[in-house]
Amino acid sequence: MVELTIDGVKVRAHKGTSVLEAAREMGIVIPTLCYYPGLSSFGECRVCLVEVVNGKRSTLEASCTLPVEEGQVILTNSPKAKKARKVVVELLLASCPTSKTLQCMASNMGINKIRFKIKDRGCILCGRCVRYCKEQMQSGGIGFVGRGTSRRVSTAFGVTPEECRNCGGCQWICPVCERACTADSLVNGLCGACQNLAPVETCQICVGCSESVGPGGHTVY
């Protein structure tokens, strides 16, 4: 067991657990996308960023891949972490505006404008499907192809491989295609079907989290 401080509270956690798991155990809300219980942590989406304080310096780390350490000081909802998360979600929405998961996340964070050029890639490359296929289905039929902005999820050479058993797991676990946003038109890259365009208010439900949300309150992930 190691002892660390999360948001000012001293907690004990098993060695080997991640900061995200330790924080969730305490009931602290940290949004996640590429993290999925039962799959290995990947650290791709950077939505679960937390601030790690080290004396006078502090860094942002993805809490899903950050192992707990003795004496660690973590801030899960500091302005620095929240600002970075917001920009990350904004970037994600700009590359995949039809995802309902993302739209909900944006509304929870009080994002009411996307300042970046919208380039709908239809996928956020979180890699949940790739890891599910490999780790849970023991198949490895799909993987990442290409580099940088041309990176995509694909089968080898675009041919359905023998390993694929058509289990549908990749589709089931996808945070984008499973819950596509049904709104017809997007305003500024935001769907507008829910509370996105309503004035930003402070969440009254979770005391102390001071997360900016719409009138619908806070979605707990």
Partner 1 sequence: MKRLKSPVELERLRSRLARKRDRHRTTVVTSVGTCGLARGAGEVARAIQAELVRQNLGESVDFRATGCHGFCEIEPVVVIYPERIVYQHVTPADVPEIISESVGERRVVQRLLYRDPSTGDEVVHEEDIPFYSKQYRLLTDDIRLIDPHQIDDYIAIGGYSALVKVLFEMQPEEVLEEIRQAGLRGRGGAGFATVRKWEACRRAPSHNSMKYIICNADEGDPGAYMDRSLLEGNPHSVIEGMVIGAHTMDAHEGYVYVRNEYPLAVTNLGIALEQAREYGLLGQNILGSGFDFDVKISRGGGAFICGESTALMASLEGRIGEPRPKHIHTALKGLYGRPTNLNNVETWANVPVIINRGAKWYSKIGTKGSKGTKIFSLVGKIKNTGLVEVPMGITLKEMVYEIGGGLVDGKPLKAIQTGGPSGGCIPASLVDLPVDFDKLAEVGSMMGSGGMIVMDESTCSVDLARYFTKFLTEESCGKCVPCREGLDRMLDILTDISEGRGTEEDIDLLEELGGVIKDAALCGLGGTAPNPVLSTIRHFRDEYLAHVVDKRCPAGVCKELITFTIDERKCTGCLICARECPQNAITGQKKKVHVIDQEKCIKCRLCYDLCQFDAVVIS
If the CB atoms of residues 58 and 216 are measured against partner 1, the closer one turns out to be: 58
Both tokens of 113, joined, read 């404008």
Best CA proximity match to 89, nearest among 71, 72, 101: 101
Q: Indicate which single residue of 32, 76, 77, 95 sits in contact with partner 1 (rule: CB under 8 A).
A: 95
Enumerate residues 36-55 that contact partner 1 by CB under 8 A: 43-46, 49
Q: Is 172 one of the binding residues for partner 1 (CB under 8 A)?
A: no
- Contact region with partner 1 (CB under 8 A), list: 5-13, 22-30, 85-93, 194-202: 85-93
What minimum distance in Å lies between the beta carbon of 5 and partner 1?
A: 18
What minimum distance in Å lies between the beta carbon of 216 and partner 1?
A: 26
- Residue 51, beta-bridge partner list: 60, 75
Asked if 167 and 144 count as a contact pair (C-beta separation under 8 A), the reply is no
Side-chain-side CA neighbours of 71 within 13 Å: the count stands at 2
- DSSP-assigned letters across all residues of 22-80: HHHHTT-----SS--TTS-----S-TTEEEEEETTEEEEEETTT-B--TT-EEESS-HH
Enumerate residues 105-124 that contact partner 1 by CB under 8 A: 115-117, 119, 124
Cα–Cα distance for residue pair 33/105, rounded to 1 Å: 10
Q: Is 56 one of the binding residues for partner 1 (CB under 8 A)?
A: no
Q: Indicate which single residue of 2, 73, 87, 183 sits in contact with partner 1 (rule: CB under 8 A).
A: 87
Q: Is 12 one of the binding residues for partner 1 (CB under 8 A)?
A: no
Asked if 82 and 90 count as a contact pair (C-beta separation under 8 A), the reply is no
If the CB atoms of residues 144 and 172 are measured against partner 1, the closer one turns out to be: 144
Non-local (6+) Cβ contacts of 21 within 8 A are 13
If the CB atoms of residues 125 and 195 are measured against partner 1, the closer one turns out to be: 125
Q: Indicate which single residue of 11, 67, 154, 209 sits in contact with partner 1 (rule: CB under 8 A).
A: 67
Q: Is 80 one of the binding residues for partner 1 (CB under 8 A)?
A: yes
- How many angstroms separate the Cα of 54 from the Cα of each of 16, 39, 40, 57, 59? 20, 29, 27, 5, 8
If the CB atoms of residues 151 and 165 are measured against partner 1, the closer one turns out to be: 151
> Interface residues with partner 1 (CB under 8 A)?
43-46, 49, 59-62, 65-67, 80, 83-84, 87-88, 91-92, 94-95, 115-117, 119, 124-125, 144, 146-151
